[in-house]
Amino acid sequence: MAESAPQDRRTRRRKRSRRHNPDGTMTLIEHIYEFRRRLGYALLALLAGGIFGFIWFQTRLGPIESLGQLMNSPYCGIPADRLLPGTIGPDGSCRLLQTAPFEGIMIQLKVGLAAGAVVTSPLWLYQIWAFIAPGLYSKERRYALTFVGFASILFAGGALLAYLLVPHAFQMLMNFGGDFFTTALTADKYISFVLSLLVIFGVSFELPLLVVMLNFAGVLKYAQLKKWRRGIIFLLFVFAAFATPGSDPFSMIGLAGALTVLFEIAIQIARVHDRRKEAKRVDEGWADLPDDQPAPFQYEPSRVDDQPAATTSTDDIT
């Protein structure tokens, strides 16, 4: 029994190897083992990123400021005469209020985990990709890699735009009420506001990419997008008004304007894609045929490289 366990592990590793198992066929039990392994690696990457972010919160990384200073920078942009005197340190730095014994460490842990997840995203995203890639066709794998890359860039761009707009939003919001109020934000509410704004902007920037994906899949045509352009732009402004947590005009206009530009780029990509697709149909003689007409040729199985790799066998279920 002691000798069979290492042998079983070697067998599973050989099954995951493309050289020994080119089509990636696995049984249901082997799929579960593979999911557990990939999930474990992804959690280890997130844990390592959380430890890194927890340390970075109070540590300066060369020319890069500490994570705490980066998160506190929009709050410090509020004029000093608008802040509570006790929240300004001897060196002129601004401080957030801590209203619970464990609030400081929980904030540091929350921000550290969020920053660590972003820093280590290539590692845990690769584990997700490595699990689902064997079940895709070769063409689908190329498209998926492209879309995942653009999704990461768009999310980072949205979060960066939100970070640049936060100081202007704070300055405008804190000026309401004139001299009747003094600003003294608690750490929990302030950090939650900033993080939610970063996430909302990052996720919102994925909407134009979703439009492109639907167009490539044949669900949305350029003609439909062109017809709905005005209505969609109006809905983007409505979405931005409800999505921004502060409901300030700077964040709303910034998000709506950026989404409008990205949506227009998505429409133009759809236009070029549909034009190329139609030209290909003309060259192949399909232009005069309706979309629902069956193909005039017999189906022939393609090569192994073009087959979905991860197929599940039911041999081990019983």
Residue 9 has pLDDT above 80, yes or no: no
Give phi and psi for 156, each to the nearest 5: -65, -40
Please report which confidence band the pLDDT of residue 317 belongs to, taking 50, 70 and 90 as the band edges: very low
Give phi and psi for 304, each to the nearest 5: -65, -35
Is residue 310 within 8 Å of residue 135, measured between CB atoms?
yes
Please report the pLDDT score of residue 318 as a whole number. 40
Give phi and psi for 19, each to the nearest 5: -70, -40
- Rounded distance between C-alpha atoms, residue 17 and residue 11, angstroms: 10
- Rounded distance between C-alpha atoms, residue 67 and residue 76, angstroms: 14
Please report the pLDDT score of residue 52 as a whole number. 92
Q: What is the DSSP string of 49-78?
A: HHHHHHHHTT--BTTBPPHHHHHHHHHHTS
> What's at 174, amino acid-wise?
M
Whole-model pTM: value is 0.69
Residue that the structure tokens 């302030």 belong to: 190
- Rg (C-alpha) for the chain, rounded Å, is 26
Residue 7 has pLDDT above 80, yes or no: no
Please report the pLDDT score of residue 295 as a whole number. 53
The tokens of 50 are what? 């959380």
Tell me the per-residue pLDDT of 214-273, one tens digit each, with 9 for 90 and over: 888 778 888 888 888 899 899 988 888 887 765 567 778 888 888 999 999 999 998 998
The tokens of 317 are what? 């279920």
DSSP 304: G
Residue that the structure tokens 């936060």 belong to: 166
Number of CB atoms found within 10 A of residue 197's CB: 25
Query: What is the Cα 12 distance to its own chain's centre?
Result: 32
Instruction: Give mean pLDDT, residues 172-192.
Output: 72
Q: How many CA atoms lie within 13 A of 59 on its CB side?
A: 8
- Rounded distance between C-alpha atoms, residue 116 and residue 48, angstroms: 7
Tell me the per-residue pLDDT of 65-92, one tens digit each, with 9 for 90 and over: 888 888 888 777 776 666 776 666 666 6
Mean pLDDT across the chain, nearest whole number? 76
Please report the pLDDT score of residue 222 as a whole number. 87
